[in-house]
Amino acid sequence: MKIKYYFFLIILFTWTAFASAQVELTRFSGRGKVGTTGFQFLKIGPSARAVAMGESFIALANDASALYYNPAGLTQLTGRETIFSLTQWPADINYGFVGTAIPTKTMGTIGAFVGALSTGEMKKTVPYKGWTGEYFSATDWLVGLSYARGLTDRFAVGGNVKMVSEFLDNESVTTWAVDFGTMFNIGIRGIKFSMMITNFGPNVKFINEEFSLPTTFKFGIVGEAFNWNNNRMIITVEGAHPNDNVEQVAMGAEYTFKNILALRAGYRGFVMLEDKDKNVQIDARRSVAVEEPMEGLSFGVGFNVPIAGMKTTLDYAYVDMGFLQNTQRLTLTLNF
Protein backbone atom coordinates (compact mmCIF):
# COMPACT_ATOMS: atom_id res chain seq x y z
CA MET A 1 0.00 0.00 0.00
CA LYS A 2 2.81 2.42 0.89
CA ILE A 3 4.55 1.67 -2.42
CA LYS A 4 1.40 2.56 -4.36
CA TYR A 5 1.01 5.72 -2.29
CA TYR A 6 4.54 6.97 -2.89
CA PHE A 7 4.30 6.04 -6.57
CA PHE A 8 1.16 8.15 -6.83
CA LEU A 9 2.89 11.10 -5.17
CA ILE A 10 5.77 10.88 -7.65
CA ILE A 11 3.33 10.96 -10.57
CA LEU A 12 1.40 13.80 -8.97
CA PHE A 13 4.35 16.10 -8.42
CA THR A 14 5.83 15.23 -11.83
CA TRP A 15 2.56 16.18 -13.49
CA THR A 16 2.29 19.38 -11.44
CA ALA A 17 5.82 20.38 -12.39
CA PHE A 18 5.06 19.68 -16.05
CA ALA A 19 1.88 21.75 -15.93
CA SER A 20 3.71 24.61 -14.22
CA ALA A 21 6.40 24.45 -16.90
CA GLN A 22 3.71 24.72 -19.56
CA VAL A 23 2.46 27.88 -17.87
CA GLU A 24 6.01 29.29 -17.84
CA LEU A 25 6.66 28.47 -21.49
CA THR A 26 3.63 30.46 -22.59
CA ARG A 27 4.66 33.64 -20.73
CA PHE A 28 6.68 36.57 -21.97
CA SER A 29 8.35 39.15 -19.73
CA GLY A 30 6.13 41.75 -18.11
CA ARG A 31 2.52 41.68 -19.20
CA GLY A 32 3.12 40.89 -22.85
CA LYS A 33 0.66 38.00 -22.74
CA VAL A 34 -2.30 40.00 -21.43
CA GLY A 35 -5.28 39.54 -23.74
CA THR A 36 -3.89 36.44 -25.46
CA THR A 37 -5.99 33.81 -23.65
CA GLY A 38 -9.70 33.23 -24.04
CA PHE A 39 -12.60 32.25 -21.79
CA GLN A 40 -11.66 34.96 -19.31
CA PHE A 41 -14.86 34.36 -17.35
CA LEU A 42 -13.18 31.25 -15.93
CA LYS A 43 -11.20 33.62 -13.70
CA ILE A 44 -14.32 35.00 -12.01
CA GLY A 45 -14.48 33.47 -8.54
CA PRO A 46 -18.05 32.57 -7.57
CA SER A 47 -17.77 32.56 -3.77
CA ALA A 48 -18.41 35.79 -1.85
CA ARG A 49 -16.56 34.27 1.10
CA ALA A 50 -13.43 33.52 -0.91
CA VAL A 51 -13.52 36.82 -2.81
CA ALA A 52 -13.82 38.81 0.44
CA MET A 53 -10.57 37.10 1.51
CA GLY A 54 -8.77 38.21 -1.64
CA GLU A 55 -9.47 34.81 -3.23
CA SER A 56 -6.62 33.44 -1.15
CA PHE A 57 -8.65 30.28 -0.69
CA ILE A 58 -7.19 27.09 -2.17
CA ALA A 59 -5.64 26.01 1.14
CA LEU A 60 -8.90 26.69 3.06
CA ALA A 61 -11.62 25.54 0.59
CA ASN A 62 -13.78 23.84 3.23
CA ASP A 63 -17.23 24.49 1.76
CA ALA A 64 -19.05 23.80 -1.52
CA SER A 65 -17.10 26.56 -3.29
CA ALA A 66 -14.17 24.11 -3.29
CA LEU A 67 -15.80 22.87 -6.51
CA TYR A 68 -14.20 25.93 -8.10
CA TYR A 69 -11.27 26.87 -5.85
CA ASN A 70 -9.73 23.47 -5.01
CA PRO A 71 -11.68 20.21 -5.43
CA ALA A 72 -9.32 18.48 -2.97
CA GLY A 73 -10.99 20.57 -0.27
CA LEU A 74 -14.29 18.75 -0.87
CA THR A 75 -12.99 15.96 1.36
CA GLN A 76 -13.55 18.30 4.34
CA LEU A 77 -17.33 18.37 3.88
CA THR A 78 -19.36 16.47 6.45
CA GLY A 79 -22.65 16.62 4.56
CA ARG A 80 -24.17 17.55 1.23
CA GLU A 81 -23.74 21.18 0.28
CA THR A 82 -25.20 23.32 -2.49
CA ILE A 83 -23.96 26.77 -3.45
CA PHE A 84 -25.83 29.51 -5.33
CA SER A 85 -23.84 32.57 -6.33
CA LEU A 86 -24.50 35.80 -8.24
CA THR A 87 -21.74 38.21 -9.27
CA GLN A 88 -22.28 41.77 -10.46
CA TRP A 89 -19.38 42.42 -12.85
CA PRO A 90 -18.39 45.74 -14.50
CA ALA A 91 -20.12 46.85 -17.73
CA ASP A 92 -23.49 45.39 -16.66
CA ILE A 93 -22.20 41.83 -16.91
CA ASN A 94 -23.69 39.20 -14.61
CA TYR A 95 -22.26 35.80 -13.69
CA GLY A 96 -24.18 33.03 -11.95
CA PHE A 97 -22.83 29.81 -10.46
CA VAL A 98 -24.59 26.77 -8.98
CA GLY A 99 -22.85 23.70 -7.59
CA THR A 100 -23.51 20.65 -5.42
CA ALA A 101 -21.08 18.38 -3.55
CA ILE A 102 -22.00 15.01 -2.01
CA PRO A 103 -19.64 13.12 0.33
CA THR A 104 -19.88 9.31 0.25
CA LYS A 105 -18.73 6.80 2.83
CA THR A 106 -16.45 4.75 0.61
CA MET A 107 -16.00 6.52 -2.75
CA GLY A 108 -14.83 10.00 -1.74
CA THR A 109 -16.74 13.16 -2.61
CA ILE A 110 -18.47 13.82 -5.93
CA GLY A 111 -19.83 17.09 -7.25
CA ALA A 112 -21.23 18.97 -10.21
CA PHE A 113 -21.48 22.64 -11.11
CA VAL A 114 -22.77 25.05 -13.75
CA GLY A 115 -21.70 28.63 -14.43
CA ALA A 116 -23.16 31.16 -16.88
CA LEU A 117 -22.08 34.66 -17.87
CA SER A 118 -24.34 37.03 -19.79
CA THR A 119 -23.77 40.50 -21.23
CA GLY A 120 -27.35 41.18 -22.25
CA GLU A 121 -28.20 42.71 -25.62
CA MET A 122 -25.78 45.14 -27.24
CA LYS A 123 -26.09 47.23 -30.40
CA LYS A 124 -24.38 46.05 -33.58
CA THR A 125 -22.21 48.79 -35.05
CA VAL A 126 -19.98 49.10 -38.13
CA PRO A 127 -17.07 51.51 -38.73
CA TYR A 128 -18.07 55.02 -39.87
CA LYS A 129 -21.78 54.13 -39.96
CA GLY A 130 -22.63 53.40 -36.34
CA TRP A 131 -25.62 51.33 -35.24
CA THR A 132 -27.06 48.94 -37.83
CA GLY A 133 -30.43 48.70 -36.10
CA GLU A 134 -29.68 45.15 -34.91
CA TYR A 135 -28.65 43.69 -31.57
CA PHE A 136 -26.35 40.86 -30.47
CA SER A 137 -25.44 39.17 -27.19
CA ALA A 138 -22.53 37.22 -25.74
CA THR A 139 -22.87 34.27 -23.37
CA ASP A 140 -20.37 31.91 -21.71
CA TRP A 141 -21.20 28.54 -20.15
CA LEU A 142 -19.29 26.29 -17.79
CA VAL A 143 -20.38 22.73 -16.90
CA GLY A 144 -18.22 20.46 -14.78
CA LEU A 145 -17.91 17.34 -12.66
CA SER A 146 -15.73 17.06 -9.55
CA TYR A 147 -14.19 14.20 -7.60
CA ALA A 148 -12.08 14.28 -4.42
CA ARG A 149 -10.61 11.63 -2.17
CA GLY A 150 -8.43 11.53 0.92
CA LEU A 151 -5.41 9.29 0.38
CA THR A 152 -4.55 9.50 4.08
CA ASP A 153 -6.11 11.30 7.03
CA ARG A 154 -3.98 14.35 6.14
CA PHE A 155 -3.47 14.29 2.38
CA ALA A 156 -6.23 14.70 -0.21
CA VAL A 157 -6.45 15.12 -3.97
CA GLY A 158 -9.25 16.28 -6.22
CA GLY A 159 -10.01 17.24 -9.80
CA ASN A 160 -12.53 18.75 -12.18
CA VAL A 161 -13.43 17.90 -15.76
CA LYS A 162 -15.11 20.86 -17.45
CA MET A 163 -16.85 21.70 -20.70
CA VAL A 164 -16.58 25.38 -21.62
CA SER A 165 -18.61 27.14 -24.34
CA GLU A 166 -18.77 30.66 -25.70
CA PHE A 167 -21.53 32.13 -27.86
CA LEU A 168 -21.02 35.45 -29.65
CA ASP A 169 -23.90 36.47 -31.89
CA ASN A 170 -24.12 33.62 -34.43
CA GLU A 171 -20.68 32.16 -33.67
CA SER A 172 -19.79 29.63 -30.97
CA VAL A 173 -16.93 27.47 -29.73
CA THR A 174 -16.71 24.63 -27.18
CA THR A 175 -13.73 22.97 -25.55
CA TRP A 176 -12.72 21.05 -22.43
CA ALA A 177 -10.40 21.72 -19.51
CA VAL A 178 -9.29 20.09 -16.26
CA ASP A 179 -8.33 21.30 -12.79
CA PHE A 180 -6.23 19.34 -10.33
CA GLY A 181 -5.60 20.17 -6.68
CA THR A 182 -3.94 18.80 -3.57
CA MET A 183 -4.28 19.55 0.13
CA PHE A 184 -1.99 18.57 2.99
CA ASN A 185 -2.93 19.13 6.65
CA ILE A 186 0.10 19.12 8.95
CA GLY A 187 -2.17 18.76 12.00
CA ILE A 188 -0.92 21.81 13.92
CA ARG A 189 -3.01 24.98 14.45
CA GLY A 190 -5.08 24.23 11.35
CA ILE A 191 -2.11 24.72 9.04
CA LYS A 192 -2.67 23.31 5.55
CA PHE A 193 -0.74 23.54 2.29
CA SER A 194 -2.29 23.27 -1.16
CA MET A 195 -1.19 23.27 -4.79
CA MET A 196 -3.43 23.50 -7.82
CA ILE A 197 -3.40 23.82 -11.59
CA THR A 198 -6.52 25.33 -13.17
CA ASN A 199 -7.95 25.42 -16.71
CA PHE A 200 -5.39 23.06 -18.23
CA GLY A 201 -6.52 22.14 -21.73
CA PRO A 202 -5.93 22.42 -25.49
CA ASN A 203 -5.67 25.57 -27.58
CA VAL A 204 -8.94 26.74 -29.11
CA LYS A 205 -9.72 28.27 -32.49
CA PHE A 206 -12.56 30.78 -32.66
CA ILE A 207 -13.38 31.85 -36.24
CA ASN A 208 -9.83 32.62 -37.53
CA GLU A 209 -7.98 33.19 -34.27
CA GLU A 210 -6.34 30.55 -32.05
CA PHE A 211 -5.84 31.12 -28.34
CA SER A 212 -4.98 29.20 -25.18
CA LEU A 213 -6.97 28.79 -21.97
CA PRO A 214 -6.17 30.96 -18.90
CA THR A 215 -4.07 28.31 -17.15
CA THR A 216 -2.77 29.12 -13.67
CA PHE A 217 -0.57 27.34 -11.15
CA LYS A 218 -1.31 28.19 -7.49
CA PHE A 219 0.24 27.51 -4.11
CA GLY A 220 -1.41 28.42 -0.80
CA ILE A 221 -1.22 28.08 2.97
CA VAL A 222 -3.77 28.65 5.75
CA GLY A 223 -3.46 28.64 9.53
CA GLU A 224 -5.22 29.72 12.73
CA ALA A 225 -4.17 33.03 14.28
CA PHE A 226 -6.23 32.27 17.41
CA ASN A 227 -9.17 30.16 18.56
CA TRP A 228 -10.63 30.82 22.04
CA ASN A 229 -13.98 31.57 23.71
CA ASN A 230 -15.97 31.22 20.49
CA ASN A 231 -13.63 33.64 18.72
CA ARG A 232 -11.58 32.33 15.81
CA MET A 233 -9.39 33.94 13.19
CA ILE A 234 -7.66 32.31 10.26
CA ILE A 235 -5.04 33.80 7.92
CA THR A 236 -4.45 32.70 4.33
CA VAL A 237 -1.69 33.44 1.81
CA GLU A 238 -1.63 32.41 -1.82
CA GLY A 239 0.62 32.87 -4.85
CA ALA A 240 -0.51 32.50 -8.47
CA HIS A 241 1.50 31.99 -11.65
CA PRO A 242 -0.80 32.62 -14.67
CA ASN A 243 0.07 32.13 -18.32
CA ASP A 244 -1.32 35.53 -19.34
CA ASN A 245 0.00 37.93 -16.72
CA VAL A 246 2.72 38.50 -14.13
CA GLU A 247 2.70 36.63 -10.83
CA GLN A 248 0.08 37.58 -8.26
CA VAL A 249 -0.11 37.31 -4.49
CA ALA A 250 -3.21 37.30 -2.30
CA MET A 251 -3.77 37.46 1.46
CA GLY A 252 -6.94 37.06 3.45
CA ALA A 253 -8.33 36.92 6.97
CA GLU A 254 -11.59 35.61 8.42
CA TYR A 255 -12.84 36.28 11.95
CA THR A 256 -15.81 34.24 13.22
CA PHE A 257 -17.85 34.65 16.38
CA LYS A 258 -19.77 31.64 17.75
CA ASN A 259 -19.82 30.23 14.22
CA ILE A 260 -22.67 32.65 13.52
CA LEU A 261 -21.06 35.86 12.27
CA ALA A 262 -17.99 36.12 10.03
CA LEU A 263 -16.04 39.26 9.10
CA ARG A 264 -13.55 39.03 6.25
CA ALA A 265 -10.93 41.13 4.48
CA GLY A 266 -8.33 40.49 1.81
CA TYR A 267 -5.87 41.95 -0.65
CA ARG A 268 -4.90 40.79 -4.11
CA GLY A 269 -2.17 42.34 -6.26
CA PHE A 270 0.62 41.82 -8.76
CA VAL A 271 4.23 40.97 -7.94
CA MET A 272 7.15 43.01 -9.33
CA LEU A 273 5.07 44.91 -11.88
CA GLU A 274 7.40 46.59 -14.36
CA ASP A 275 7.23 50.37 -14.85
CA LYS A 276 6.26 49.94 -18.49
CA ASP A 277 3.26 47.90 -17.39
CA LYS A 278 1.87 50.81 -15.38
CA ASN A 279 1.05 52.82 -18.50
CA VAL A 280 -1.45 52.29 -21.29
CA GLN A 281 -0.30 53.56 -24.69
CA ILE A 282 -3.03 55.59 -26.42
CA ASP A 283 -1.07 56.37 -29.60
CA ALA A 284 2.50 57.12 -30.69
CA ARG A 285 2.60 60.28 -28.57
CA ARG A 286 0.27 59.71 -25.64
CA SER A 287 0.14 57.27 -22.75
CA VAL A 288 -1.99 57.15 -19.61
CA ALA A 289 -0.84 56.06 -16.16
CA VAL A 290 -2.91 53.15 -14.85
CA GLU A 291 -3.76 52.63 -11.20
CA GLU A 292 -2.54 49.21 -10.15
CA PRO A 293 -3.56 46.68 -9.10
CA MET A 294 -6.86 46.32 -10.94
CA GLU A 295 -8.06 44.26 -7.98
CA GLY A 296 -6.96 45.37 -4.54
CA LEU A 297 -8.79 45.46 -1.25
CA SER A 298 -11.85 43.34 -0.58
CA PHE A 299 -14.26 43.08 2.33
CA GLY A 300 -17.16 40.85 3.26
CA VAL A 301 -19.51 39.50 5.87
CA GLY A 302 -21.23 36.15 6.40
CA PHE A 303 -24.09 34.80 8.52
CA ASN A 304 -24.90 31.22 9.52
CA VAL A 305 -28.62 30.75 10.13
CA PRO A 306 -30.34 27.36 10.60
CA ILE A 307 -33.51 27.10 8.48
CA ALA A 308 -35.82 24.06 8.62
CA GLY A 309 -33.05 21.92 10.08
CA MET A 310 -30.53 23.00 7.42
CA LYS A 311 -27.41 25.05 8.00
CA THR A 312 -27.79 28.08 5.76
CA THR A 313 -24.95 30.51 5.07
CA LEU A 314 -25.36 33.89 3.41
CA ASP A 315 -22.17 35.67 2.32
CA TYR A 316 -21.56 39.09 0.78
CA ALA A 317 -18.36 40.52 -0.74
CA TYR A 318 -17.27 43.94 -2.00
CA VAL A 319 -14.15 44.33 -4.16
CA ASP A 320 -12.27 47.48 -5.13
CA MET A 321 -11.51 47.12 -8.86
CA GLY A 322 -9.34 50.23 -9.12
CA PHE A 323 -10.12 52.26 -12.24
CA LEU A 324 -13.04 49.94 -13.00
CA GLN A 325 -16.25 50.09 -11.03
CA ASN A 326 -16.42 48.04 -7.83
CA THR A 327 -17.95 44.57 -7.88
CA GLN A 328 -20.29 42.83 -5.49
CA ARG A 329 -21.09 39.17 -4.89
CA LEU A 330 -23.82 37.35 -3.01
CA THR A 331 -23.61 33.64 -2.15
CA LEU A 332 -26.11 31.30 -0.52
CA THR A 333 -24.86 27.93 0.74
CA LEU A 334 -27.14 25.14 1.98
CA ASN A 335 -25.78 22.28 4.11
CA PHE A 336 -28.13 19.31 4.52
Domains of the chain, earliest start first = 2-335 (2.40.160.40)
- Residue pLDDT tens, the chain, 336 long: 444 444 444 445 444 544 444 444 444 444 556 667 889 999 999 999 999 999 999 999 999 999 999 999 999 999 999 999 999 888 888 999 999 999 998 899 999 999 999 987 888 888 888 888 888 888 999 999 999 999 999 999 999 999 999 998 888 999 999 999 999 999 898 999 999 999 999 999 888 888 899 999 999 999 999 999 899 999 999 999 999 888 899 999 999 999 899 999 999 987 655 444 555 555 556 555 554 545 689 999 999 988 877 889 999 999 987 667 788 999 999 998
Residues 6+ apart with CB under 8 A from 267: 54, 250, 251, 252, 296, 297, 298
Report strand pairing: 155-168 vs 130-150.
Answer: antiparallel
Give the integer Cα–Cα distance in Å for 317 and 265: 9
DSSP 13-60: HHHHHHHHHHHHHT--STTTTTT-BS-GGGG----HHHHHTTT--TTT
pTM over 0.75: yes
